[in-house]
Amino acid sequence: MSAIYILWLRQLKRYSRSRARLIGSLGQPLLFLVALGFGFGPIYQKAGEGNYLQFIGPGIIAMSITFMAIFSGIEIIWDRQFGFLRETFVAPVSRFKIMFGRTLGGATVAVIQGLLVFLITILIGFRLTNLHLLLPAFLFMLLIAFFFTALGTAIASLMKDMQAFPVIMNFLVMPMFFLSGAIFPLKGLPEAIVIATRINPLSYGVDGLRATLTNQAFFGLGLDFLVLIIADLALLAIGSYLFSKIEL
C-alpha cells in the first residue's frame, strides 16, 4: 500500500507544478457551459424541457473529468520516451501497484478538475436539487475518472509515440462524450443511437451525476453505479495486463 500511496502522491505533485495546464483545461468546459447553456437554453425551454443549464451542467462536469483523466493515462507514453518509466520499473514494486497508483493519482487530479468545473457551474447559475446526494455525486466523479484514466493507461501501453493520440481523441473519446447524453436527452432517439448510448459506460456516469445533482435520472442510480463499477474493474484488469507487458 505504501508504494501505491507514493505513486499517487507523485502524480498529485506532478500536476500541482503544472497550474497553467490545470487552469487552461478549464477553458473548454467553460466554453461549452456558456455557448451551449445560454445559446441553446431558450430553444430547450421552448421545447418544454425546462432549464438547459440544469441539464447540461452534470454533462460538462463529466466531460472535464473525462478529458483530464484520459490525458493522465496517455502520459505513460511521455514517461516511456523520456526514461521516467524505466526509473519506476527498476523499483522493487509490482507493475500492478505501479499502474494502480498512477491510475489513482490521475483519477484524483481529474476529480479535482471536475470539482472546479462544478464550482463554475454554480457561479453561472446551476442549482443543486439534492444537497444530501453530494457524496454520491463525488463517488460518480471518481468512478468516471478512474475508468478513463485506466482506459488511457491501457491505450498508452500499446503505443510508443503520440502520433496516434489525435486518432484516439477523434474516434474514441469524443464519440463516447457526444453519445453519453451529456448535451442532449436520451429519450426519443433513433434505435441505433439508443444502442450506442446503452453500451457507452460514460452514459451511466453522466446519468449518475445528473440524478444526484438535479434528480433527473434516465437509467436509475442503481444501474448507473453497477455498470460503472463493472466497467472500472474490467478496465483495471485490462490496463494492468497491458501495462505489465510494456517493453522499454
In percent, how much of the chain has pLDDT > 70?
84
Residue 21 pLDDT level (bands cut at 50, 70, 90): low
Give the per-residue pLDDT at 14: 61
For residue 149, the one-letter residue type is: T
Span 92-107, pLDDT tens digits: 777 788 888 888 888 8
Average pLDDT rounded to a whole number, residues 38-50:
73
pLDDT at 11 exceeding the cut of 70: no
Determine contact, residues 77/160, Cβ cutoff 8 Å: yes
Q: How many CA atoms lie within 13 A of 189 on its CB side?
A: 16
Give the burial string for 155-189 (b: 16+ CB within 10 Å, else e). bbbeeeeeeebeebeeeebeebbbbbbbbbebeee
Q: pLDDT tens for residues 165-208?
A: 777 777 888 899 999 999 888 888 888 888 999 999 999 999 99
Q: Average pLDDT over the chain, rounded to whole?
A: 83
